[in-house]
Amino acid sequence: MLDSLLADTRALVECESPSTDLAAVARCADVVTRVGAARLGAEPERIVLDGRTHLRWRFGAGPSRVLVVGHHDTVWPIGTLDRIPYAVRSGVMRGPGCLDMKTGVAMAFQAIAALPDPDGITLLVTGDEELGSPSSRPLIEAEARAAGAALVLEAAADGGALKTGRKGVSIYELIAAGRAAHAGLAPEQGVNATVELAHQVLRIAALGDAVAGTTVTPTLARAGTTTNTVPAVARVAVDVRIRTLAEQRRVDDAMRALTAVLPGAVLELTGGPNRPPLEEATSSALFARARALARDLGLPALSGAAVGGASDGNLTAGQGTLTLDGLGAVGGGAHADDEHVLLDFLPGRTALLTSLMAELLAAAPARPETTGAR
């Protein structure tokens, strides 16, 4: 099984697929289709949204019971393969996108193919996850609403831990509008947007809560036009990471309640919650199943980890669907030159995925509600 898994992964890695290159993502979708069809005995539905190519395999005539989620786009520009070619040495695989997450896609093919009957499985492999899933989000959410559980093939956390929690993300831009004036001749006639923004940045930064795991970080800021002009406009981007929906709502309410400090200044806020959190309560039941199955399979004891990064698991969890993430490859260096996969883990993790899907198919009825694009 390992040899075929490596062959499939190599085919995917050697077809470069940076998210921003629509033609490259489409080419990679062709390779994913060919590799997946050979393993699964079925062609996927090809779904192109805003020029981005996604693939969906649906097994059985009824509604989905288990949604398996992966993506075939990467952060790596065309030509990276020349600098970091696919290679396997001393039990370690390297190559752009091998960990995040082309090995996970290959694992999904192998695991589903090993099921006695995949009826009730839906496999969704998207092409824009590294951009935040702008076109595939409605598709993912619709599939999640129809399924009883979602299994996400992103790479494992450090040490092979499954990802039992992910922070949600909110993204804002706050614009402070003032009034321009000559900085030397009549600064008092202006309304300094930079000064207004300074007041607001301090308010925004104070919204973080270290105990709750909430970070509210002003990031990119811009103001003014020339060195001798009172700035009429200033703006700042704000990155928010939260563990719970309650915290996401609290911060959002506070951001929308900001009011100007300087007379004559006006505030405009854009943005808001981008991805809901994957709360650990949403993953706990699936994690318990996975731990028991790993024990039955004679695998090392599984651990869980809450991580700060977001994935499509945030979107499935946001629909109220039980979600377990980090079921893909074990390794390190995602988005870095030392991206790698540890081969020793692959057979056991793929067997675990098969067993988890089989148990969920046997135990969980389909959800009665099936809304969205199907």
The residue from 73, 128, 252, 279 that is catalytic is 73
21 an active-site residue?
no
Do 2-167+277-363 and 168-275 fold alike per CATH? no
Q: How confident is the model at residue 365 (pLDDT cuts 50, 70, 90)?
A: low
Q: 2-167+277-363, superfamily in CATH?
A: Zn peptidases (3.40.630.10)
- Taking the model in full, what pTM does it have? 0.87
Q: List pLDDT tens digits, range 313-348.
A: 999 999 999 999 999 999 999 999 999 999 999 999
pLDDT tens string 241-256: 999 999 999 999 999 9
Q: What value does the mean pLDDT of the chain take?
A: 95
Q: pLDDT tens digits for 265-281?
A: 999 999 999 999 999 99
Half-sphere exposure for 336 (CA within 13 Å, toward CB): 8
Instruction: For helices 2-13 and 103-113, give the axis angle rounded to 10 degrees.
Output: 140
pLDDT tens-digit series, residues 281-298? 999 999 999 999 999 999
What whole-number distance in Å separates Cα of residue 341 and Cα of residue 337?
Answer: 13
Give 99-108 pLDDT, tens digit per residue: 999 999 999 9
Cis peptide before 93 (omega within 30 of 0): no
| Domains of the chain, residue spans | 2-167+277-363, 168-275
CA distance 291 to 286: 9
SS3 374: coil
Which residue of the set 16, 100, 129, 312 is catalytic? 129
User: What is the topology classification, in CATH, of domain 168-275?
Assistant: Alpha-Beta Plaits (3.30.70)
Percent of the chain with pLDDT over 70: 97
DSSP string, 33-47: HHHHHHHHSSPPEEE
3 is catalytic: no
Mean pLDDT score, 107-134? 97
Task: Give the mean model confidence (pLDDT) for residues 69-80.
Answer: 98
